[in-house]
Structure 1
Amino acid sequence: MAKVRYAVVGSGWISQIAFMPSVAQTDNSEMTAIVTGNPERAQELADFHGIPKIYSYEQYDEMLASGVCDAVYIALPNSMHADYAIRAANAGIHALVEKPLALTVAECEAMIAAAQKAGTLLMTAYRLHNEPATVAILDAIRDGQIGTPRVFSSVFTMQADLGNHRLEAKHWGGPLQDIGVYCLNAMRHVFSAEPVEVIAMDGATEDPRFSEVPEVISATFRFPGAAIATFTASFGAHDLDEYRIVGTEGVIEVSTGYAFKTMPKFRVIRGDDVTEHEFDPVDHFGAQTAYFSDCIQSGTRPESDGEEGLADVRALRAVEESARTGRPVTIETAPRPSHPSKDTVRMIPTTEKRLVF
């Protein structure tokens, strides 16, 4: 196929500000439909981006059967991911699904099984796997620049707005699922291993934003070989986005490690020797889309597949259980067969052409 045709399922903020502007920056992808609950706003977006078709959520199955798309980008609340991805697979349509992949381990497994049965591809939208700075950090670790990684620590905090669906329990909202997942995913690839145990703590103030979900959560993970990783994620603190990796011979410090509007910056510290690394801008979402389209066109399983999303959901649920019980929780996940590498990077230019309501 000349270009992979995408239907955007959910025309909210992340689709408007990040995914939809990025597709035209690729040379192998295009948008051919929007599935939405707001047809008036969707029409404005369709006109702006040159998207020919608009469907309601009630018309989703009709859209899948119409031949208008090859793949869907699912940017719906977490509670809706599994249903829409499974329906896509059943119709023979590939799915790029925002993280966390689904609400539960069972839902993730059902999504994976549906894609396997249909012969379609399922990819978890870990855009950082497809931009060069994050891969350069992992390459520095793999090259032994800090010796063996032993400690990972991260803080990712922001202020969430009252009324956002990320603060609703019915959608499995909260800082753990929305931003803590970035820290969790990073540590797993820093150590090239899966965590075996976690202990966690959460809390909330009387702020009305946090009547259904915690305001803050902190977790400490044990990895094989006694490596330790910790992170704190909050929806009620000033913006901070950083992580640090301490090895046996040096340290890597990363700032703006997770944000999609900027490139991660990092420095490698070995005694008095400090090396700074900065990168020219790349469109994270464009890189992610271009990579998935390459996988679709070549029939290659994506690195950040359904099992990658499942591994994080299993660990996220263990964090919740530990925070609820106050006890350590064992995590059992098989090692990943691959990790982000230069093969997963796509150098897609940024754009300022976007329409955001």
Structure 2
Amino acid sequence: MGNTYRIAIVGCGGIANGKHMPSLAKLSNVQMVAFCDIVPERAVEAAEKYGAEGAKTYTDYREALKDATIDIVHVCTPNDSHAEIAIAALEAGKHVMCEKPMAKTAADAARMVEAAKRTGKKLTIGYNNRFRPDSQHLKKLCEDGEFGDIYYAKAHAIRRRAVPTWGVFLDEEKQGGGPLIDIGTHALDLTLWMMNNYKPKVVLGTAYHKLSQKENAANAWGPWDPKKFTVEDSAFGMIVMENGATIMLESSWALNSLDVDEAKCTLCGTEGGADMKGGLRLNGEKHSRLYTTEVNLQAGGVAFYDGKQEKDADLEMRKWIEAIDEDKEPVVTPEQAFVVSQILEALYESARTGKAVYLNQ
């Protein structure tokens, strides 16, 4: 890669500090030159830690977008502002990586897809779990036809007690929902990607507020405030695709369950199956006998090899910059991410109305 790309970070909070900026900092052909946050101190702190020489800070992203030297914008803000900022950046001639989920609503996600097509700029969404070693290996097996026709799958996003109590996670107005749109979105994206199936027909969903009102609840990050817990604590759904395939989606921040899995999927096909529970496991039938195989995902898969694997976030950022540099499609396309948002919104609607929601009719 011979070019150097100038990047603006919009939203310098947890996800920017936890994923975007540290991983971008490892790439030799990018410079983070602009940092924007409604809290000025956060932008300044990010610039001091990750900024190139002369990096600027902003409290209004519109001012940052006026800089014609900026090539790429990373949108790391709450869900309700994803579409507004991403579309403005695309229209300003920038490529955009937006954090997941794509948008608060499917209509906003559709507007983002349209803006990317209209401007000719690249848009991707931060579904980083696609870049894990188990995900990468499983995707190759799917592409090779290892499992045949995948007609049943499960998308897992279950936490026993891990409610995020900071930021706007509990604010339905800002986020659009709770665990379904926060972590269920990762599991659903992963599952659709493995199946390479983006044509949903009908969904049926349920959402619960059963544990959210408990006082002094046990929680990984300390008790939540029931008065501020305005989103669901768990949500579940069934998605039937146009080709008849069925996906069961489960998501929770708080659930009385010991069966805990997050950003994982189970696949069942005509020739075999796989799941990500306790590592990547494959199953099938050969020579009239059933088999189960546990895949060694250590670097190189060789006992004497002690090389280090690239972290999923590092690989995600590298592949994103490569897509721009080589003018190719990003790993996560906006069209794929739109379908995830479309299904999530339909699940919430079904949960509210108690009725199945038909899509693309």
**Contact 2:151–2:246 under 8 Å retained in 1:** yes
Structure 1 residues 173 and 29: alpha-carbon distance in aligned structure 2, compared to 1, 3 A threshold: farther
SS in 1 for 2:157: strand
Give the structure with higher Rg (CA). 2
CA distance in 2, matches of 1:86, 1:151: 36
Give the Å deviation of 1:286: 2.2
Distance of aligned partners of 1:109 and 1:24 in 2 relative to their CA distance in 1, 3 Å threshold: same
Farther-moved stretch of structure 1 (62-71 vs 79-88): 62-71
Question: C-alpha displacement at 1:119, in angstroms?
Answer: 2.5
Which residue of the partner structure matches residue 283 of structure 2? 269
1:331-342 → structure 2 map (5 Å cutoff): 331-332=359-360
Measured at CA, do residues 274 and 297 of structure 1 come closer, stay the same or move farther in structure 2, by a change above 3 Å?
A: closer
Report Cα offsets for 1:171-217 as digits up to 9, x if no partner: 11311111111121122123221221111111112231774111100
Aligned to 2:62: 61
Work out which of the residue numbers 181, 184, 203 in structure 2 matches 1:180: 184
Count of equivalent residues: 324
Q: Look up the match of 2:303.
A: none
**Conserved 8 A contact 1:198-1:330:** yes
| AA of the residue aligned to 2:312 | H
The corresponding residue for 1:15 is 16
Tell me the residue number matched to 1:216. Answer: 234
Identify the structure with bigger relative contact order (alpha carbons < 8 Å, sequence gap 6+): 1
Please tell me the residue identity of whatever aligns with 2:281. Answer: R
Per-residue deviation, 1:23: 0.9
For 1:246 and 1:210, the matched residues in 2 are separated by 40
- Structure-to-structure mapping, 1:84-95, within 5 angstroms: 84-95=85-96
Query: What is residue 193 of structure 2 aligned with on the other side?
Result: 189
**Aligned equivalents of 2:359 and 2:328: distance in 1?**
29
Q: In the alignment, is the contact (CA less than 8 A) between 1:169 and 1:212 conserved in 2?
A: yes
After superposition, residues 74-153 of structure 1 pair within 5 angstroms as 74-153=75-154
User: What's 1:338 paired with?
Assistant: none
Take 1:132 and 1:273, find their aligned partners in 2: how far apart are those partners?
19
TM-score by length of 2: 0.82
Please, which of 202, 213, 220 is the counterpart of residue 207 of structure 2?
202
1:233 is displaced (CA, Å) by 0.5
Give the equivalent residue in structure 2 for 1:162: 165
Work out whether residues 244 and 252 of structure 1, in 8 Å CA contact, stay in contact via their aligned partners in 2: yes
What is the TM-score when the length of structure 1 is the normalising length?
Answer: 0.83
SS in 2 for 1:246: strand
Cα distance in 1 between the residues matched to 2:271 and 2:119: 48
AA of the residue aligned to 1:198? V
Contact map agreement 2:34 2:58 (CA 8 A) in 1: no
Mapped partners of 1:53, 1:47: distance in 2: 9
Does 2:323 match 1:323? Answer: no
CA shift at 1:163, angstroms?
Answer: 4.3
When the two chains are superposed, the root-mean-square deviation of aligned CA atoms in Å is 2.3
